[in-house]
Amino acid sequence: MTTVIDRSVTRLVAVGGDRWRVLDAGGRVRGHVRCIDEEAGRRFCAQRFDPRSARFRELGRFWILEEAVECVRLSR
């Protein structure tokens, strides 16, 4: 799946039915946002890859997609 959603300084590229890759303006991968269904409703989980542990690290869960994307964009 290669659906692209343009944002002001960030792009989302769908990499599955419930996951998007977050790219910065230069095309570098900043992290991922994953959609998860919880008992209280749909949430968006912001994630970054941690090379030291070789796995994704959760940055937070949000009710709004744009907030999850902003979290990934601003994280280090």
Tens-place pLDDT, residues 20-70? 999 988 888 889 999 999 999 999 999 998 888 888 899 999 999 989 998
Measured torsion, CA atoms of residues 44, 56, 74, 24, in degrees rounded to the nearest 10: -90
Long-range CB contact pairs, 14-21, < 8 A, 24+? none
> If pLDDT is split at 50, 70 and 90, which confidence band does 7 have?
low
Q: In the chain, how many domains are there?
A: 1
What residue numbers bound the domain in which 29 lies? Answer: 4-74
Furthest CA-CA distance within the chain: 37
pTM summary value: 0.80
> If pLDDT is split at 50, 70 and 90, which confidence band does 9 have?
low
Q: d(Cα 59, Cα 65) in Å, to the nearest integer?
A: 13
Taking 70 as the threshold, does the pLDDT of residue 4 lie above it?
A: no
